[in-house]
Structure 1
Amino acid sequence: MTDTASSYPLLRTINTPAQLRALPRTQLRQLADELRAYVLDTLANSKVGGHLGSNLGTVELTVALHYVFDTPHDRLVWDVGHQTYPHKVLTGRRDELPTIRHFGGISGFPRREESEYDTFGVGHSSTSISAAHGMAMAAKLKGEARKAVAIIGDGAMTAGMAFEALNNAGIAHGGLMGDMLVVLNDNDMSISPPVGALNKYLARLMSGKFYAKAREGAKSVLRHTPLYELARRFEEHTKGMVVPGTIFEEFGFNYVGPIDGHDLDSLIPTLENLRDRPGAQFLHVVTKKGAGYELAEADPVKYHAASGKFDPAVGFVKSTAPAKPTFTQVFGNWLCDMAELDPTLVAITPAMREGSGMVEFHQRYPSRYFDVGIAEQHAVTFAAGLACEGLHPVVAIYSTFLQRAYDQLVHDVALQNLPVLFALDRAGLVGADGATHAGNYDIAYTRCIPNMAVLTPADENECRQALYTGQRHPGPVTVRYPRGAGVGAVPQSAMQAWPWGKGEMRRHSGQAQTRGQGPARIALLAFGTLLYPALQAAEALDASVANMRFVKPLDQALVLELARSHDALVTIEDGCIMGGAGSAVAEVLAAHGLTLPLLQLGLPDEFIEHGDVPKLMSLCGLDAAGIERSVRERYWPATSVPSAVNQ
């Protein structure tokens, strides 16, 4: 890691935004350059990587916001939060940045517990305007003079929640209107031509006190004359010719922009003008994703995040070791193969084409590919509409993002028993992205819905076959699979549907053995990829192992058979224990009056922090050693010795 004292002489003196505000404006360009270089250097030396392009693109905006606003008294609310590394550096976490996304280190997203400058915890998009509006109204109600600023990207503005918040924030409530500013950080390069000297001039003019007083004065004079309506229309149409802000004005915001989000000489005076204006303000800034780093500017999608070995001089360094296919790649290949067989198949993603492995499908079947933007609710109901007309939609969505469309999942898909397949990527723990992105709850929140089927493949080949099985089912299905690669099971090109609702035995225990106090024969019921650590633990325990495959419909016959032939059962899943697959097994036992011991292993009732997935799974007791240890401690405490696994 480059020494901050020698390479970043100005940045090393800034530990708080107050110190930043004490700098002369002439030094801010140097500070921004050092800040950008520091973020790039830090990520290049990180073993877990992090968001790159988005953070390089917000350097000047971050400097300007902390320079103009009295943070943390004034509230900055970042949307999504993957562009807040510069913010973290300037708010006392510079020396901790190398720990970002590491276990025990700082989060890759804003967290209220981490800093008073992180005013609102985020990880998903389109929440900032609602939160900032709440903070602005709270300040009014409490009689506190403070500003709330929401910083939201153009992608996040596609979500309905953002427009719901705009609709609410631009009006007075009981005579009160919050003093808030929405900053639209637009990094769509198609809008860059309007950014120039004329737009800078208009932005500063329209945000200034003279313009505001002149406009309000003219309105008061003309209000009761026939010229008022003509003047109002002339103002709207004139502004509409030079700025794309009419829609935001209709919401009740004073729109300013677009301006260059990398030009501090334009940003700072415009922000100062808007800071001093009451009510709802809207600033449209144009930035370049990956700004200041040529490779990221040229390919912002590729350099959205840095992972693996990364050298700023040459970019990503390819590993020479052959990589196992990820579950995401298995899904992408299956989607293309299935589309060739089924002309009614269509695919939907809420702005996650690359993340969900759909690039090749988009290229091969462009008319059957739908990216609906960051609009999960719309994605699910759109799929329902397609299914009503005889098509077979596949919704590729992260487990954590499906939570945002739960009402649509229940009312628009399941209630009507429509054949929509949900490919749930990032199920279980996701590692460095932490609790905001973890897919810990989908088993619990989907299995309770009537008509919904839940499939849990154990490896890459099973994932392909489970997707095929789900696509052939005449009702709604979720197929969940984790981030990254599995055990390396090569997917078979031939696709064969599983027997519906049936699991399989993968290991049978030997003859019952005398173990002193406690049950003799144990059966492990594994759901999903935890089949493999279960098999490993079973060797040390001499336990039976069932690959359950289905959480719903659960293979009740197999559960009952194991319950009657064994002395105790253990369920194993990489989802929350409460309401999960283990609960489904407990319900079957209770319904049939069986009272044998049942141990449920899964993720605890807490939000699990970011870190390396194997380490986190070990801490949760869901690796092979942890499974063996939990079984021994519960059933054979006298034999609870250090694990025999891997010894």
Structure 2
Amino acid sequence: MDLTEITSPSFLKNLDREQLLELAEDIRKFLIEKCSVTGGHIGPNLGVVELTIALHRCFDSPNDKIIWDVGHQSYVHKILTGRACQFDSIRQYKGLCGFPKMNESEHDVWETGHSSTSLSAAMGMAAARDIKGESNYVLPVIGDGALTGGMALEALNHIGHEKTNMIVILNDNEMSIAPNVGALHTVLGKLRTAGKYNTAKDELEYILKRIPAIGGKVAAAAERVKDSLKYLLVTGVFFEELGFTYLGPVDGHDFTELERNFQYAKKTEGPVLLHVITKKGKGYLPAEHDKIGTWHGTGPYKIETGDFVKSVSKAPSWSGLVAETVRTLAREDRRIAAITPAMPVGSKLESFAAEFPDRFFDVGIAEQHAATMAAGLATQGMKPFLAIYSTFLQRAYDQVLHDISRQNLNVFIGIDRAGLVGADGETHQGVFDIAFLRHLPNLVIMMPKDENEGQHMVKTAIEYNAGPIALRYPRGNGLGVPLDTELQTIPIGTWEVLREGSDVAVVTFGTTIPMALQAAEKLKTKGISVKVINARFIKPMDTAMLSELLSTGMPFITLEEAVLAGGFGSAVLEYANDHHYSTNQIKRMGIPDRFIEHGSVDELMTELGLTADHLVDELEEMFYDQVSERERLG
């Protein structure tokens, strides 16, 4: 069928089994074709085609609340709710969002891009329903990886305690982004192989009901027999002990099984957990055969071969450069251990894990645990490297504050994907970490101008033994500069002058340094001399160099690919004010006080006015303003 003609999921209720199968096939072909051009989360969405169709067929969205945990598996939901016609623009600038988005559709009842939030949101929605005396169904869909998140376990505990009417769909594909780890994953593995439990329980209940005069002690004994059977066939029955009625495991690609269990769940009082087994990447062999998470989210690819279409770059990826430098140093320094919260592939730690399996820890989707575990390692003389995306570090803020910084422990935090990340949009932009880390005592924050300085900063972080230290680095590849063969430490809190100038200055760091140098070169042709300072240490700042700059009265701009509120520019203004320098000659450029949606990084930077041309205009205006002021004063 023509998927672009769908306006509402209500048509699903009129389809027969053959038509449902055809629809599932059409959706898979559509997704494979569209994502081959735009990129996107192809693996998760191919895995939930039948599940999403069955949900919309058996329930009535948006009255019934379907809540997608993480949200990267919501493409099928978007198609069935009338957005197939927009798929050419998915994850593109001003186009369809790759995650649920309330302003796109009334069927998107919850926005998310981080894992493990659906159950708490569902509890809130269910509580509101009950307070208002309504009767709709609340249906969070959570993956087995997201279920390991502490927030999800907190919500399960509360839902079971309150005996809230809710149908939790556990989408179990044995993977999140990378293969799942942990004891709970093992429990789910046992449940996957224990499908006979529900059948055996039903048969036992039938037999017991046939026994005449079964009451009192006999009934109690029968319940104990059922409990014994439960523990015999499903070791640990985790969910039932939390107060849920457990259904499953169910084949997540079988419409009959899905719909039968949904109907049974509807009739069950209290919280129900329906355990659905799906195949990530189903219907596209390269994605189906993926064992390490490569096809979780991709760029464009060739449908026929599964080969990715990538821009050619001889420069190393930032994640790879940092991880490989850590691995090199770990060969000589047994203090070094690496920790990641479910991102060994994205953080490029596979080689470290292979070479040092006893010093590598993938803790699953558990950022808070990862941070405090790193702190625990540090108390015992280890040097933990915590590799974590900027957007996910937000989830471990209190642990960085309370457990790492407050105790002044030697933890090395690698803040990956720092700055704008592009297509994943507002939930993933790594622009807040400076603002939420800068005010923490004891913590050093640095960012390199290129990959050569980056490798020296890794060395600096490993050798630094006076407390926690964080290294920010962006998504993508470096600049392709030559790499020194011998690693060196950089004095903490030192900046460097990249270009001398006498009229105006730019104080910046990291990804915006090339922009500053381009602007300086353009202004040179206009007779304006621009000084460019690499403020590679965001904290502590090089107060000697900053004081010298402020003393000259030279106008300057602080430039950062991060939020202005509480950011690096704010730190410069605070210093100038506290030390009685004039702040009139200082301007700040950075991310404004709003969330930045999806699009390419270049498109977003242009929208935000963070370009070399805009910087030229700002510097030129400051220069002529100062010239005019001097002329006015004579």
TM-score, normalisation: structure 2: 0.91
Please say which of residues 557-566 and 474-483 is displaced more in the overlay: 557-566
- Corresponding residue of 1:485: 477
Aligned with residue 519 of structure 2, among 512, 515, 537: 537
Distance 1:456 1:215, change over 3 A: farther
- Corresponding residue of 1:645: none
State the secondary structure of the residue aligned to 2:127. Answer: helix
- Corresponding residue of 1:285: 276
Deviation at 1:203, TM superposition (A): 5.4
Q: Is the 8 A contact 2:313 2:477 kept in 1?
A: no
Q: Is the 8 A contact 2:190 2:234 kept in 1?
A: no
- Corresponding residue of 1:3: none
Residues 120-155 of structure 1 deviation map (CA, whole Å, 9 limit, x = unaligned): 100000011111111111111101110111111111
- Corresponding residue of 2:241: 250
- Corresponding residue of 1:59: 49
Where in structure 2 are the equivalents of 1:143-158 lying within 5 Å?
143-158=133-148
Consecutive unaligned residues in structure 2, runs of 5 or more: 176-185, 524-528, 628-634
- What CA distance in whole angstroms lies between the structure 2 residues aligned with 1:214 and 1:570? 81
Distance 1:321 1:211, change over 3 A: same
- The answer to whether 1:183 aligns with 2:169 is yes
- Corresponding residue of 1:571: 558
State the secondary structure of the residue aligned to 2:609. Answer: coil
Deviation at 1:569, TM superposition (A): 2.0
- What CA distance in whole angstroms lies between the structure 2 residues aligned with 1:581 and 1:155? 35
- What CA distance in whole angstroms lies between the structure 2 residues aligned with 1:638 and 1:502? 29
State the secondary structure of the residue aligned to 2:168. Answer: strand
Q: Is the 8 A contact 1:456 1:549 kept in 2?
A: yes
- Corresponding residue of 1:140: 130
Distance 1:302 1:153, change over 3 A: closer
Aligned with residue 587 of structure 1, among 562, 574, 594: 574
- What CA distance in whole angstroms lies between the structure 1 residues aligned with 2:57 and 2:312? 47
Q: Is the 8 A contact 1:617 1:623 kept in 2?
A: yes
- What CA distance in whole angstroms lies between the structure 2 residues aligned with 1:607 and 1:215? 60
Matched letter for residue 554 of structure 1:
M
The aligned length equals: 609
- Corresponding residue of 2:86: 96
Aligned with residue 452 of structure 2, among 461, 473, 487: 461
Matched letter for residue 29 of structure 2:
A
- Corresponding residue of 1:522: 504
- Corresponding residue of 1:422: 413
Matched letter for residue 173 of structure 2:
N
- The answer to whether 1:619 aligns with 2:601 is no
Please say which of residues 240-249 and 32-41 is displaced more in the overlay: 240-249
Deviation at 1:504, TM superposition (A): 0.5
Deviation at 1:24, TM superposition (A): 2.8
Q: Is the 8 A contact 2:561 2:590 kept in 1?
A: yes
Deviation at 1:115, TM superposition (A): 1.2
Q: Is the 8 A contact 1:204 1:270 kept in 2?
A: no
- What CA distance in whole angstroms lies between the structure 2 residues aligned with 1:478 and 1:301? 27
Aligned with residue 328 of structure 1, among 307, 315, 319: 319
Aligned with residue 435 of structure 1, among 405, 426, 431: 426
Distance 1:311 1:263, change over 3 A: same
Deviation at 1:523, TM superposition (A): 1.5
Deviation at 1:457, TM superposition (A): 1.0
Deviation at 1:239, TM superposition (A): 3.0
- What CA distance in whole angstroms lies between the structure 2 residues aligned with 1:245 and 1:344? 37
Q: Is the 8 A contact 1:243 1:258 kept in 2?
A: no
Deviation at 1:192, TM superposition (A): 8.0
Please say which of residues 347-356 and 325-334 is displaced more in the overlay: 325-334
Q: Is the 8 A contact 1:295 1:315 kept in 2?
A: yes
Distance 1:604 1:319, change over 3 A: closer
Residues 330-388 of structure 1 deviation map (CA, whole Å, 9 limit, x = unaligned): 11211211111211100000000000110111111111100000000100111111100
Matched letter for residue 444 of structure 2:
A
Deviation at 1:28, TM superposition (A): 1.0
- What CA distance in whole angstroms lies between the structure 1 residues aligned with 2:399 and 2:164? 32
Q: Is the 8 A contact 1:420 1:476 kept in 2?
A: yes
Residues 549-605 of structure 1 deviation map (CA, whole Å, 9 limit, x = unaligned): 101111111101111124212101111001111111111111110014210111110
Q: Is the 8 A contact 1:522 1:566 kept in 2?
A: no
Matched letter for residue 24 of structure 1:
D
Aligned with residue 543 of structure 2, among 538, 546, 556: 556
Distance 1:317 1:268, change over 3 A: same
Please say which of residues 381-390 and 225-234 is displaced more in the overlay: 225-234
State the secondary structure of the residue aligned to 1:395. Answer: strand
Residues 456-485 of structure 1 deviation map (CA, whole Å, 9 limit, x = unaligned): 111111111112112211210110011002
Please say which of residues 17-26 and 313-322 is displaced more in the overlay: 313-322
Matched letter for residue 30 of structure 1:
E
- The answer to whether 1:72 aligns with 2:62 is yes
Residues 9-50 of structure 1 deviation map (CA, whole Å, 9 limit, x = unaligned): 26455321111223234421111111111111111122xx10
- Corresponding residue of 2:589: 601
- What CA distance in whole angstroms lies between the structure 1 residues aligned with 2:509 and 2:205? 63
Deviation at 1:276, TM superposition (A): 2.8
State the secondary structure of the residue aligned to 2:449. Answer: coil
State the secondary structure of the residue aligned to 1:304. Answer: coil
Aligned with residue 107 of structure 1, among 94, 97, 118: 97
- What CA distance in whole angstroms lies between the structure 2 residues aligned with 1:126 and 1:625? 42
- The answer to whether 1:354 aligns with 2:345 is yes
State the secondary structure of the residue aligned to 2:331. Answer: helix
- The answer to whether 1:630 aligns with 2:605 is no
- What CA distance in whole angstroms lies between the structure 2 residues aligned with 1:245 and 1:186? 18
Deviation at 1:312, TM superposition (A): 1.7
Distance 1:22 1:544, change over 3 A: same
State the secondary structure of the residue aligned to 1:478. Answer: strand
Where in structure 2 are the equivalents of 1:333-348 lying within 5 Å?
333-348=324-339
Consecutive unaligned residues in structure 1, runs of 5 or more: 1-8, 511-520, 640-647
- What CA distance in whole angstroms lies between the structure 1 residues aligned with 2:119 and 2:17? 29
Matched letter for residue 174 of structure 2:
D
Q: Is the 8 A contact 2:7 2:82 kept in 1?
A: yes
Deviation at 1:406, TM superposition (A): 0.8
- What CA distance in whole angstroms lies between the structure 1 residues aligned with 2:408 and 2:477? 32
Residues 284-323 of structure 1 deviation map (CA, whole Å, 9 limit, x = unaligned): 0111111111121111435424544412211014658444
- What CA distance in whole angstroms lies between the structure 1 residues aligned with 2:557 and 2:298? 37
Matched letter for residue 160 of structure 1:
G
Identical positions, percent: 42
Deviation at 1:112, TM superposition (A): 1.5
Where in structure 2 are the equivalents of 1:222-237 lying within 5 Å?
225-227=216-218, 229-237=220-228
Distance 1:570 1:226, change over 3 A: same
Please say which of residues 236-245 and 83-92 is displaced more in the overlay: 236-245
Distance 1:415 1:215, change over 3 A: farther
Q: Is the 8 A contact 1:52 1:303 kept in 2?
A: no
State the secondary structure of the residue aligned to 1:537. Answer: helix
Distance 1:31 1:318, change over 3 A: closer
Q: Is the 8 A contact 2:4 2:85 kept in 1?
A: no
- The answer to whether 1:127 aligns with 2:117 is yes
Distance 1:445 1:107, change over 3 A: same
Q: Is the 8 A contact 2:197 2:234 kept in 1?
A: no
- The answer to whether 1:168 aligns with 2:158 is yes
Q: Is the 8 A contact 1:15 1:94 kept in 2?
A: no
Distance 1:213 1:375, change over 3 A: farther
Where in structure 2 are the equivalents of 1:36-51 lying within 5 Å?
36-46=28-38, 49-51=39-41
Deviation at 1:243, TM superposition (A): 4.3
Distance 1:88 1:272, change over 3 A: same
- What CA distance in whole angstroms lies between the structure 2 residues aligned with 1:376 and 1:302? 19
- Corresponding residue of 2:19: 27
Deviation at 1:194, TM superposition (A): 7.2
